[in-house]
Structure 1
């Protein structure tokens, strides 16, 4: 436990630097995956988004910040490589859903599952109280990042899709 304000300020500064390094390491890993598997940033973002389940093209457009026409081309490219497949929405057969296909599952198993397992092993070294604090900090950091992104978009005059 930090006892002085100076010690706390130093720790906050250190955490800030570590978060930046973590973001950089995450970006390097993501870019390396893209280079190896020949997937661009929008393609990787789309596949990541689809891990939560089948999505409509409009939901993919919002998640990737692409136009509907660009999403159609993106899905066509990913479908041609067996990363995604289209299927009718079981609730409304007029709608089409896009879902992860075999190549996405293979990519997850080959690249992201080992990363998840290593992360889980690192977290397993800590107690539940510590992990709750980490979860709270990450939740707050994501909220801050989202708010700063919204402010940048407002400042630049661009709309978030």
Structure 2
């Protein structure tokens, strides 16, 4: 591998790490301003994909079903989520974003999406395909690393 390529790979690795840090800082600020903890923010982010069952939410945000029930109670009281019976299986309850969550997305995340779309519009289709592939591949690496770390079960304190 050429030293130019190694240098660029190192710079990209650092840039991705800084991007993750900036995203976390932004989300923490959103949480501070809107009074949402990390699990609540993860839940609301997951619900952007559409209605979910409480068990799917629990798996996604790595909480016990009892903890998710408490979390959903808090979010429902604040107008962020609604629980409704599943129309195809009355034994299931579906959780969906409610007005307050949609307002938060519109106020806080929509401007980011608009700015991001304008930035991405500067690139041609071939470049966007590369960026998309890098992001998907990076997510796979991170998901695998998280699974391995969870399986290893590092001690919480030393």
TM band (smaller chain)? over 0.9
Post-superposition offset of 1:117: 0.6
Q: 1:87 pairs with 64, 84, 89, which one?
A: 84
For residues 94 and 8 of structure 1, the distance between their equivalents in structure 2, rounded to whole angstroms, comes to: 56
SS at match of 2:118: helix
Trace 1:1-161 onto structure 2 (pairs within 5 A): 5-156=2-153
User: How has the CA–CA distance of structure 1 residues 121 and 105 changed in structure 2, closer, same or farther, with 3 Å as cutoff?
Assistant: same
Structure 1 unaligned blocks of 5 or more: none
Across the aligned residues of Structure 1 and Structure 2, the Cα RMSD in angstroms comes to 1.2
* Count of aligned residue pairs for this structure pair: 155
Post-superposition offset of 1:155: 1.2
SS at match of 2:89: coil
For residues 90 and 57 of structure 1, the distance between their equivalents in structure 2, rounded to whole angstroms, comes to: 15
Higher RCO, 1 vs 2 (CA within 8 Å, ≥6 residues apart): 1
Question: Runs of 4+ in structure 1 displaced over 6 angstroms?
Answer: none
Post-superposition offset of 1:95: 1.1
Structure 2 length-normalised TM: 0.96
For residues 95 and 82 of structure 1, the distance between their equivalents in structure 2, rounded to whole angstroms, comes to: 21
